[in-house]
Structure 1
Amino acid sequence: MALFSRGKRAADQATTPDSNGSEATETDAAATPTTESPLTGGADGGEASVATPTEDLPTVGISMSSFQGVGAAPAETPAAPSTPAPRPAQATPRTLAPAEAPEAKETVPGLRDNALLRQALAALSDTPAPHDVANVARQLLQGSVFLRVHGDARTLLAEGQDLPLAIATQGDAQFVLVFSGGEPLQASVRADGQTDTSAMGQPVLAVIRHVLDGPFAGMILDHASVPGRVLLPRQLLQRAVDEADPELTVKSILAAPRTEATASEIVAALPTAKLWIAAGKPEGSDAFGIAESRTPEGDRYLEVFSHPLEIVALGRSDSPLPVTAAQLGGALKSDEGISGLLVDPAGPWIRLQRDDLLPVIALAG
């Protein structure tokens, strides 16, 4: 049975999302979505699991200390300023990553690939550095991902059964197999030959929380793709969720196609979003400063981040510090030499000009 058969599809077989944004498609028929426990099942590692030999598991030498705790303060901690300090930790012209996300394809009809995650995984080397893994983890935090379901998901859902998710085992540890798109999932099926498989698309935070709520040691992304695969341990996933904005509003807006309203949507999201700035010591100085970027023309932009992983992924020595929109407004109000904000410079990013940020400046009183 071929995976994602493109045979005749009846009108009632079309893949549709449920109220939680979940989607499913199968080898012979599209699954009927459910709003009841869409991620339950697969935890017992029985018939649903895809056993993967230890030597085949991606091993990445990472730890929380490698990421400076994903938001943990450095040994010498600058106190979060009432308004960000004007002295830049980095104030040199930058060559930025692409501002916009690549176009997301539907390699499986009805299921949209996570294009940013696929791009980050494709950039991995055989021995990724910690900031490369952080780059994957930050790009995971938007959109949806694919899960493998062993068996006919439509039948299982109709019968009210749990969906047995594909997992990999390493000793006593279990890892949920997660995929950035249809092609990596098809590669997984070719690798193990278990063609009785369904694909389900789920919002990424729902998947991460399912991993954290279960007995799993983490997740493996695109496990059959070499070298574009990586293991994200439970500790990293926990910290990533703890530090994330619950709605992932800023990241979601930046990952979406740009419109004339994008800048105003970001500005409107800033007062309620979790935000971070990058603190570090400029070369030749013992004092901490706040990172900014300068254009070749000399315009200054204060760097603002939607998650600490966005800072770690830059591979710099800066440490993340939480900041509020009112504090950012105070910095802009007190220093008219700041041209605006550069949000998530590792990309997708956006520059917000002072005129865009008048509502934020007004928060400073």
Structure 2
Amino acid sequence: MALFSRRKKSGDDAVTPASDAPVEAAASDQAQPTETVEPPVAAPSIGISVQAFRGMGAEAGPAVTLPDADEKPSPAAPVQAPPAAAAPANEAREITSPKLPFAPGLPPEQTESVPGMKDNVLLREALQQVEKGATNEELLGVMRQALQGHLYIRVNGDARAQISEGKPLAVAVVRDDERQFMLAFSSAAAVRDSVKLEADPAATSAVAQPSTSVMQQVVQGDFAGLIIDNASAPHRVVFPTELLQKTLEQADTEMVVKAIVAAPREQDSASKVGEALTRTRMWVAVNGGNDDGQVGIAEAQTTDGKRFLQLFSHPLEVIALGRGDRPLPFEPEQLAKVLAGHPEMAGVVVDPAGPTMIVERDALAPVVELATAADTTAEAAPEG
């Protein structure tokens, strides 16, 4: 297994490559967290406020309605119409600004900073925009991208051997007095940069795990938080456990829809989203309210007048738009009812803050069928 070599570190060669040997990924299905680690480098203190992330979404709320066709919808991120009739219906449209907390509409191309080990490109690019004294909005943008894909964990010793022997992984952490922080990385290159800072690095490997799984390990373990790309200052972040726990409480564990939208576009990407929406809770953005307690759902319009319901994979996606909207959970049955009751609705736009995807009505047929099935069941139910 390819491991990092040992070398002594001086003040002049702290960032000199320890070895050209790549860090090798091990299968992660059997990975377990452990607190047995050696402290690498001095830990940064948590420098973010979690206040901006509180109240990310209600678990219940009032009834929601769509505005009539002649009413002005709630403010929305601009969506460009297809440039030509031949353009793919599922082609994502660029949002106005890629600056954090926003991201480009189309996902970036997949890269491997170490051959054979895929980077979490969206997270890596978000971290590149982070500087010292990052704002809550910027950190929110990093957290959004951290929810999708995978993270690498540094392991002291041979990760593959530890997994095969059924042992907990000896993951690397940073200690700060009585606190300890789990380390995670957006790429294998970021892992290698972290090892270079060791005064006497042990043989080190890396394992890739789903991002939400890594966050869950932090929440369930004796950790004060999670440091991502610790050797990449100022392009690193520290997320406290409290924030991770709140984020996970309102997340789809597998982030099914977000994963499809964040992946390179394929011919059936829109159909995959449509199918996933039949079993995945999403979120809508609501603002204001009427005397009867109903509120309107935010939607977007293309330049040719088509109306699209805005859907969000996580409450943070709503907050990132900065419109003051409130995230409200939206079950598949609710989405089906809205689509069935508003045939003029052209489809949905998922995660407008980017990466985003327009899913037109034909790809949402499985969702609409939920409403038809519900009506049939209601009609067949005996009275009384």
Give 2:124's match in structure 1, choosing from 118, 125, 129: 118
Give 1:179's match in structure 2, choosing from 185, 188, 192: 185
Give 1:52's match in structure 2, choosing from 36, 42, 45: 42
Change (3 A) 1:325 1:185: same
For residues 298-317 of structure 1, the aligned pairs below 5 Å read: 298-317=305-324
Whether the 8 Å CA contact 1:4–1:108 is kept in 2: the answer is no
Structure 2 residues without counterparts, runs of 5 or longer: 6-19, 80-93, 96-102, 373-384
Q: Deviation of residue 336 (structure 1)?
A: 4.0
Answer yes or no: is 1:256 the counterpart of 2:263.
Answer: yes
CA distance in 1, matches of 2:310, 2:146: 21
Give 1:151's match in structure 2, choosing from 146, 157, 163: 157
TM-score of the pair, normalised by structure 2: 0.76
CA distance in 2, matches of 1:32, 1:298: 50
Greater Rg over alpha carbons, structure: 2
Give 2:358's match in structure 1, choosing from 348, 351, 359: 351
Q: Deviation of residue 29 (structure 1)?
A: 8.3
1:99 equivalent in structure 2: 105
Whether the 8 Å CA contact 2:185–2:191 is kept in 1: the answer is yes
Q: Deviation of residue 131 (structure 1)?
A: 2.6
Answer yes or no: is 1:280 the counterpart of 2:290.
Answer: no
2:8 equivalent in structure 1: none
CA distance in 2, matches of 1:178, 1:34: 14
Letter in 2 for 1:66: A
Whether the 8 Å CA contact 1:144–1:203 is kept in 2: the answer is yes
CA distance in 1, matches of 2:32, 2:245: 18
SS of residue paired to 1:135 = helix
Whether the 8 Å CA contact 1:89–1:281 is kept in 2: the answer is no
1:40 equivalent in structure 2: 33
Give 2:74's match in structure 1, choosing from 84, 89, 93: 89
Q: Deviation of residue 228 (structure 1)?
A: 1.5
Give 2:55's match in structure 1, choosing from 56, 69, 72: 69
Change (3 A) 1:72 1:66: farther
Q: Deviation of residue 361 (structure 1)?
A: 2.6
Letter in 2 for 1:79: P
2:99 equivalent in structure 1: none
- RMSD across aligned positions (CA): 3.0
Q: Deviation of residue 105 (structure 1)?
A: 1.7
Q: Deviation of residue 248 (structure 1)?
A: 1.5
Letter in 1 for 2:55: G
SS of residue paired to 1:232 = strand
2:254 equivalent in structure 1: 247
Change (3 A) 1:85 1:328: farther
Q: Deviation of residue 33 (structure 1)?
A: 4.2
Structure 1 residues without counterparts, runs of 5 or longer: 6-25
Q: Deviation of residue 130 (structure 1)?
A: 1.9
Aligned residue pairs, count: 329
Q: Deviation of residue 78 (structure 1)?
A: 5.6
Change (3 A) 1:157 1:300: closer
| Cα deviation 1:60-114 (Å, max 9, x = unaligned) | 3321x312422148xxx96143x55556321473551533321222222332111
| Cα deviation 1:198-230 (Å, max 9, x = unaligned) | 222122222122112210111011111122211
Give 1:79's match in structure 2, choosing from 62, 70, 75: 62
Change (3 A) 1:117 1:32: closer
Letter in 1 for 2:138: D
Q: Deviation of residue 308 (structure 1)?
A: 0.8
2:378 equivalent in structure 1: none
| Cα deviation 1:214-253 (Å, max 9, x = unaligned) | 1011101111112221111111111222111132211111
Range that drifts further, 301-310 or 189-198? 189-198
CA distance in 2, matches of 1:186, 1:261: 36
CA distance in 1, matches of 2:45, 2:4: 26
Whether the 8 Å CA contact 2:288–2:295 is kept in 1: the answer is yes
SS of residue paired to 1:126 = coil
Give 2:142's match in structure 1, choosing from 133, 136, 139: 136
Q: Deviation of residue 187 (structure 1)?
A: 2.0
| Cα deviation 1:307-331 (Å, max 9, x = unaligned) | 1111122233111001122322332
CA distance in 1, matches of 2:130, 2:192: 20
Q: Deviation of residue 40 (structure 1)?
A: 3.2
